[in-house]
Amino acid sequence: MTETNGAPDGSGQEPSRRDFIYIAAGGMAALGGGLVAWPFIDQMSPAADTLALGSTRVDISAVQVGSEITVMHRGAPLFVRRRTAEAITAARSVELSELPDPEARNENLPDGTPGTDENRVLRDEYLIVKGNCTHLGCVPLGLDENTGDYEGWYCPCHGSHYDTSARIRRGPAPENLPVPDYIFENDTTVKIGISGEEAAASGWAVS
């Protein structure tokens, strides 16, 4: 009757077939539990309609040289600044070695692209970046209030200074303000949230 069972106290016994059944059943129960739990965890991820709010069209015809606008894209602010020649020159005179974050952080370009000003704009005059500080997400102040020590943006929360290419120069923020996917539909309209490749694939005019 008992020859196939392990000893009740299990001391010094070889693993029995019953031990195997325990482990196999327990393992399956854990796997099943994990599979059941997944939908309840994954439901918190961005929903399809949230993801569908992917692109925003921005009219930039009213933006004068030396001014900027802030627009909403995917529920968060986005800066569109039309830079002066001096601002562009200032951004381009910076050596990569001076940058705390030497990467371009440009969604239109591969990761690891050097953070030169050329790699952060499509057209030299228009700098378009996401408007949440890479430290803790505050909205940095711009031309209207305080551009910080590098004439770009200044985050009031913890004192991060960004330059005229929206690259972090001093303060706790770890990364440059990211450049979103965007294309110029024409000289006065920018479409945010769509890459040049996607645009070409779907027949958008890319200039």
Partner 1 sequence: MSGPSTYNPKPGLMTWLDDRLPIIRLGYDSFVDYPTPRNLNYWWAFGGILTVFLMIQIITGITLAMHYIPHEDMAFNSIQRIVRDVPNGWLLQSMHANGASFFFIAVYIHMFRGLYYGSYKAPREILWILGVVIYLLMMATGFMGYVLPWGQMSYWGAMVITNLVGAIPFVGEAIREWLWGGFTVGQATLNRFFSLHYLLPFIIAAVVGLHIWALHVPGNGNPVGISVKTKKDTLPFHPYYTVKDGFAILLYLMIFCFFVFFMPNALGHADNFIEANALSTPSHIVPEWYYLPFYAILRAITFDIGPIDAKLGGVLAMFGAIAILFVLPWLDTSKVRSMRFRPLTRWFFIFFVVGALGLGYCGANNPDDIVFGGIKFLWLAQFLTFYYFAYFLLILPILGIVEKPKPRPASIEESVLGTSKA
Assess 158 for contact with partner 1 (CB under 8 A).
Answer: yes
- Judged by CB under 8 A, the residue of 33, 34, 66, 174 near partner 1 is 174
- As a whole number of Å, the end-to-end CA separation of the chain is 84
| Cβ-based neighbour number of residue 134 at 10 Å | 20
- Shortest distance, position 100 Cβ to partner 1, whole Å: 10
Instruction: Tell which residue, 4, 175, 174, 24, has the closest CA to residue 106.
Output: 175
Measured CA to CA, the distance from residue 67 to residue 61 in angstroms comes to: 12
CA–CA distances in Å: residue 139 to residues 2, 130, 131, 172, 190? 72, 9, 6, 14, 21
Q: Applying CB under 8 A, what is the total number of residues that bind partner 1?
A: 24
- Judged by CB under 8 A, the residue of 139, 143, 195, 206 near partner 1 is 139
Binding range to partner 1, per CB under 8 A, among 15-23, 103-111, 132-140, 198-206: 132-140
Query: 124: Cβ–Cβ under 8 A, 6 or more apart, which residues?
Result: 83, 88
Based on the residue annotation, tell me whether 135 is a catalytic residue of this protein.
Answer: no
Assess 112 for contact with partner 1 (CB under 8 A).
Answer: no
Q: Which residue lies nearer to partner 1 by CB, 154 or 184?
A: 154
- Residue pair 155/140 in contact by the 8 Å Cβ criterion: yes
Assess 46 for contact with partner 1 (CB under 8 A).
Answer: yes
Assess 37 for contact with partner 1 (CB under 8 A).
Answer: no
Assess 72 for contact with partner 1 (CB under 8 A).
Answer: yes
In the complex, which residues of this chain contact partner 1 (CB under 8 A)? Answer: 44-47, 50, 70, 72, 74-77, 131-132, 135-139, 156-159, 172, 174
The set of catalytic residues is 158
